[in-house]
Amino acid sequence: DEFEQDELVAIEYLCEDALSGIQSCVGDIGSGDFLDTSTPGAHTFRVTATDKAGNEQIVERGYTVAEPDTTDPEVDVDVPAVPASGWYLDEVTVRLSASDESGIRRIHYEYGTTQGVVSRDIEADTAEITFDRSQFYTLSYWAEDGAGNRSESRDLRLYVDSTAPWV
């Protein structure tokens, strides 16, 4: 099995011998005790059973302690190509996609509008935001992974003008 660093993992074992009976049942750690998960890497523990006739059986079990995740998640942005004028003439939908080996806890984004600041935490690895009002937007976003690592906050500027000029 694989465990996280410092995860509490109790083990249990039992030694039996139907014929002569058990003389001793000894493990590297006692039954009901916790595995050492303080150090990443491959580890083993063993249990040695000896019956009253002198027969011995050794069982060895391996486990792995995973390296802690210290890598920030990555966030990809999918946005339609910017028109030559720099202004979108209709609504614009931006898709944020985050990825990380320990999973994504949330994507956070915020942007200002004429009515105030919109701020959201989406507990998923994708988020879609549609900008449908004519104005200049600055979308700030970041992601947090399952280990608590947070990507750097980034900004995306969008210019939307869906209002025809008045003559």
- 28-70 per-position pLDDT tens digit: 999 999 999 999 999 999 999 999 999 999 999 999 999 888 8
- Residue the block writes with tokens 């935490």: 121
Rounded to two decimals, the pTM is 0.68
pLDDT band at 164 (very low <50, low <70, confident <90, very high): confident
Q: How far apart are CA 160 and CA 87, in angstroms?
A: 5
Cβ-based neighbour number of residue 125 at 10 Å: 19
pLDDT, tens digit, 9 for 90 and up, residues 125-161: 999 999 999 999 999 999 999 989 999 999 999 999 9
- The whole-number pLDDT of residue 79 equals 96
Q: What is the DSSP letter of 35?
A: -
Task: For residue 143, give every residue at least 6 positions away whose Cβ sits within 8 Å of its Cβ, in sequence order, or none.
Answer: 73, 74, 75, 96, 98, 100, 104, 106, 107, 108, 125, 150, 151
In this predicted structure, what is the pLDDT of residue 46? 97
